[in-house]
């Protein structure tokens, strides 16, 4: 099962990615979580202890590795380098596992909506494609922004694009934009998850205003989420209400796939 999680900045993509990763890991499944944020924070949301976090480094920042694999230094524009470097060993080599969740940090991925063709984007694009072809039981991609990371060639392997929204028109507007981009590349398996829902009115708002995307479930607003961050513990452990909501969302999703 390959899940990509997208949505406007700050809506709770990383929180949901961490929750779902732990839900599936606790079911005994083999989970690979991928942090594609230029400022990685999925390790924190998963409650990875400091010694493990210190072992994580975003692939995008591994200049020597990128040069070794592509044949050119990152930052080089023009010149020759391979567009499909070897990447199959990277997930095992650079990921770190905690409580059944294997985590890989990609770092800043500019896959060239800007048209950038450079060694680091060739490397990350190849790695992204490779991850979607691997046979991990569960792959969870914390996408940071839109669906730019996904290309037409990989779309068939994404079982669900989950768009996280808050009960605001603005975040629903972003969901509509993501939906358009997804349709442009042929990705139609889209679901919404509402986050930071404080009351019935907000739940009703999301249920009635979904822009033609089925709603998988709602996560309540809970001050415990920030508290967990402060304490360095996983939301999954610290906020039972969110854990339960995530378990329900995982169940709904499996029913619909
Ligand atoms: N259900 C929630 N209740 C309260 N705060 C939340 C909730 N979900 C996320 N947050 C807070 O919102 C902020 C953004 O969450 P995050 O998961 O990092 O979003 P994203 O990855 O979409 O940028 C964080 O400070 C987080 O603690
Ligand atoms: Mg995030």
Residue nearest to atom 19 of ligand 1 (CA): 12
Per-residue model confidence as pLDDT tens digits over 170-207? 999 999 999 998 998 888 999 999 999 999 999 999 99
For residue 226, tell me if it sits in a domain.
yes
Residues 6+ apart with CB under 8 A from 57: 94, 105
6 is a domain residue: yes
Any domain includes 120: no
User: 73 lies in a domain?
Assistant: no
Look at residue 153 in the predicted model and tell me its pLDDT: 67
pLDDT for res 179 = 93
- In this prediction, residues 127-142 reach a mean pLDDT of 90
CA of 10 to the centre of ligand 1 (A): 6
Rounded to 5 degrees, what are φ and ψ at 219? -110, 130
Residue 144 inside a domain? The answer is: yes
Whichever domain contains 184, its CATH number is: 3.40.50.300
- By the 8 A CB rule, do 187 and 181 touch? no
Query: Is the residue at 125 inside a domain?
Result: no
Q: Is the CB of 6 under 6 A from ligand 1?
A: no
Q: Which residues contact 199 (CB under 8 A, 6 or more apart)?
A: none
Global pTM? 0.95
Q: Is residue 248 part of a domain?
A: yes
Strand-pair category, 31-35 with 138-142: parallel
**Domain assignment of residue 71, yes or no:** no
Q: Which ligand is nearest to the CA of 238?
A: 1
Q: What is the mean pLDDT of residues 132-146?
A: 86
Q: Tell me, what's the pLDDT at 111?
A: 55
Position 107 scores a pLDDT of 85
Q: What is the DSSP string of 197-232?
A: E-SHHHHHHHHHH--SS-EEEEEE--THHHHHHHHT
Q: Which residue has the tokens 């990763």?
A: 21
Q: What's the rounded mean pLDDT across residues 33-47? A: 93
- Report the domain count for the chain: 1
Amino acid 109: pLDDT: 65
Domain that holds residue 25: 2-48+97-109+130-256
Which residues partner with 218 through β-bridges? 194
């Amino acid at each position: 099962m390959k899940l990509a999680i997208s949505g406007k900045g700050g809506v709770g993509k990383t929180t949901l990615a961490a929750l779902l990763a732990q839900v599936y890991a606790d079911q005994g499944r083999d989970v690979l979580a991928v942090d594609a944020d230029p400022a990685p924070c999925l390790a924190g949301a998963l409650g990875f202890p400091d010694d493990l976090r210190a072992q994580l480094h975003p692939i995008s920042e591994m200049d020597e590795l990128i040069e070794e694999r592509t044949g050119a230094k990152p930052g080089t524009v023009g010149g020759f380098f391979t567009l499909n470097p070897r990447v199959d060993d990277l997930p095992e080599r650079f990921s770190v596992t905690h409580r059944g969740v294997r985590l890989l940090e990609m770092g800043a991925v500019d896959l060239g909506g800007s048209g950038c063709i450079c060694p680091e984007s060739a490397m990350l694009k190849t790695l992204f494609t490779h991850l979607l072809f691997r046979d991990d039981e569960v792959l969870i991609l914390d996408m940071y922004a839109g669906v730019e990371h996904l290309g037409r060639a990989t779309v068939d392997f994404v079982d669900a694009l989950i768009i996280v929204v808050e009960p605001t028109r603005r975040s629903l507007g972003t969901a509509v934009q993501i939906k358009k981009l997804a349709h442009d590349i042929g990705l139609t398996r889209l679901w919404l998850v509402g986050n930071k829902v404080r009351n019935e009115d907000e739940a009703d708002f999301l249920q009635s205003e979904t822009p033609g995307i089925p709603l998988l479930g709602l996560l309540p607003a809970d001050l415990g989420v920030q508290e967990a961050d402060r304490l360095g513990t996983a939301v999954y452990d610290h906020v039972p209400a969110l854990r339960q909501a995530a378990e329900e969302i995982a169940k709904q999703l499996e029913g619909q796939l």
